[in-house]
């Protein structure tokens, strides 16, 4: 049984094939390859774009989609996660898309079901479909010439599953990462790192800005997000005329992560990431569901 729990679940060749599919879905209406297939979305944590992106992706390929309203579900009545998973599994889905505040939950669920589990974000651990769509967006922007390109990942890296998945995935494709964050947002890694955004600006091809994950902080770290913005907001003034691709997984804290002027600038591809996300998730759903038979 194939799952997408982390980006390591796919070989580099599989990722290239997946991107070829995604590219074709952007260009022409997709075939209904998942007709009569059932996809369940199970979100224990809030989501706007990831959930709708998976649901739209599944529907575009002809699948039936059921969203389980967790706020009203039996886990609220004391049912364990495993029993919830086993009961959903008994309804015969082809895939369950799971988001949970606790790292490891999608993996644990995958051991109790016989359908594909898609990790739509687990705690600060992983968000593989986001990293895949980020890489896809980078590849398209640079016409596939990405070997040796340099990216700065900026912000609350330590608490970001998006950063974590990108730190696993991007180096596999030759992209060089520098981490830019204040000490309390900096994870322990072997990547080059700095706390000063100015240090990297003349050296990078891509900036990936991240949202401060206030919901994952046991104690508020900054007195206000404005203090953070003073050092890490990606402003037009800061970027100037540099040829830098600007990414952000969303939701953006406007004028904290990225200022109004940069959000409106053509170098900022946030909405293209969202558009690409549907195509990449279509390709991933197709790949795993059909592989599982």
**H-type helices in the chain, by residue range?**
12-27, 49-60, 81-90, 105-110, 128-141, 161-169, 225-232, 236-239, 260-263, 270-291
Residue 272 as a binder of ligand NCD (CB under 6 A): the answer is no
Of residues 218, 203, 161, 211, the one with CA closest to residue 181 = 211
For ligand NCD, the binding residue among 3, 211, 269, 286 (CB under 6 A) is 211
Residue 84 as a binder of ligand NCD (CB under 6 A): the answer is no
For ligand NCD, the binding residue among 3, 37, 51, 127 (CB under 6 A) is 127
For ligand NCD, the binding residue among 95, 162, 239, 284 (CB under 6 A) is 162
Q: Is 174 helix (H, G, I), strand (E, B) or coil?
A: coil
Give the Cβ contact number of residue 7 at 10 Å. 25
Residue 155 as a binder of ligand NCD (CB under 6 A): the answer is no
154 sits in which H/E element: strand 150-154
Residue 253 as a binder of ligand NCD (CB under 6 A): the answer is no
Minimum gap (Å) between residue 240 Cβ and ligand NCD: 26
Residue 130 as a binder of ligand NCD (CB under 6 A): the answer is yes
22 sits in which H/E element: helix 12-27
Site string for ligand NCD, 29-58 (x = CB under 6 A): --------------------xx--------
Residue 284 as a binder of ligand NCD (CB under 6 A): the answer is no
Contact 137, 272 (CB under 8 A): yes
Sheet holding 64-68, edge to edge: 64-68, 38-43, 95-100, 116-122
The pair of three-digit structure tokens given for residue 125, joined into one six-digit string: 């651990």
Minimum gap (Å) between residue 290 Cβ and ligand NCD: 25
Which CB, 158 or 211, lies closer to ligand NCD?
211
For ligand NCD, the binding residue among 3, 161, 281, 287 (CB under 6 A) is 161
- Return residues touching ligand NCD (CB under 6 A): 49-50, 121, 127, 130, 161-162, 211, 249-250
């Amino acid at each position: 049984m194939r799952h997408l729990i982390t980006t390591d679940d796919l070989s580099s060749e599989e990722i290239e094939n997946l991107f070829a599919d995604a590219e074709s879905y952007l260009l022409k209406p997709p075939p209904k390859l998942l007709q009569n297939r059932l996809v369940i979305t199970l979100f224990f944590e809030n989501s706007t774009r990831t959930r709708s992106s998976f649901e739209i992706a599944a529907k575009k390929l002809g699948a039936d989609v059921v969203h389980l309203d967790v706020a009203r579900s039996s886990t609220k009545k004391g049912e364990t996660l495993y029993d919830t998973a086993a009961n959903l599994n008994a309804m015969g889905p082809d895939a369950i898309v799971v988001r949970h505040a606790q790292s490891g939950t999608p993996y644990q669920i995958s051991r109790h079901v016989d359908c594909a589990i898609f990790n739509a974000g687990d705690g600060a651990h992983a968000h593989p479909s986001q990293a895949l769509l980020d890489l896809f967006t980078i590849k398209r922007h640079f016409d596939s010439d990405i070997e040796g390109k340099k990216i700065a990942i900026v912000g609350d890296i330590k608490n970001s599953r998006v950063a974590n998945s990108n730190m696993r995935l991007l180096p596999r494709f030759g992209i060089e990462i520098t981490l830019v964050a204040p000490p309390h947002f900096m994870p322990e890694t072997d990547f080059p790192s700095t706390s000063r955004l100015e240090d990297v600006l003349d050296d990078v091809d891509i900036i990936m800005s991240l949202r401060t994950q206030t919901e994952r902080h046991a104690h508020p770290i900054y007195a206000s997000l404005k203090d953070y913005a003073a050092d890490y907001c990606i402003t037009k003034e800061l970027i100037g005329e540099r040829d830098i691709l600007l990414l952000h997984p969303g939701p953006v804290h406007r004028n904290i992560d990225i200022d109004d002027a940069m959000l409106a600038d053509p170098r900022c591809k946030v909405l293209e990431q969202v558009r690409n996300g549907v195509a990449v998730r279509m390709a991933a759903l197709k790949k795993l569901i059909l592989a599982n038979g």
